[in-house]
Amino acid sequence: MSPTDTNSWEIEILGADAGVRYSTKLPKTLLTYARGKEQAWSATDLGFAMPFKTITGGIFEPGFPDILMQMWAAYLAERAGHLGDRFGCATPAEAVAHHELWAAALRSHAGQTIVAL
Please report whether residue 42 resides in a domain. yes
pLDDT at 101 over 90: yes
Position 93 confidence tier, pLDDT thresholds 50, 70, 90: very high
- Comparison of pLDDT for 35 and 108, the residue scoring more: 108
Cα angle, residue 64 at apex, residues 61 and 53 outer, rounded to 5°? 60
CA 13/CA 30 separation, integer angstroms: 12
Please report whether residue 31 resides in a domain. yes
Identify the DSSP state of 48: -
CA atoms within 13 A on the CB side of 62: 19
CB 13 within 8 A of CB 19: yes
- What is the span of the domain harbouring residue 18? 1-47
Position 110 confidence tier, pLDDT thresholds 50, 70, 90: very high
Position 65 confidence tier, pLDDT thresholds 50, 70, 90: confident
pLDDT at 114: 95
Please report whether residue 3 resides in a domain. yes
| Size (the chain), residues | 117
The dihedral of CA 84, 71, 25, 94: what is its sign?
negative
Environment class of residue 77 by beta-carbon count within 10 Å: exposed (0-12), middle (13-18) or buried (19+)? middle
pLDDT at 11: 93
Please report whether residue 35 resides in a domain. yes
Please report whether residue 105 resides in a domain. no
CB 30 within 8 A of CB 44: yes
Rg for the chain, CA atoms, rounded: 20
Per the structure, the count of domains in the chain is: 1
Please report whether residue 57 resides in a domain. no
pLDDT at 32: 96
Taking all residues of the chain, what is their mean pLDDT, rounded to a whole number?
87
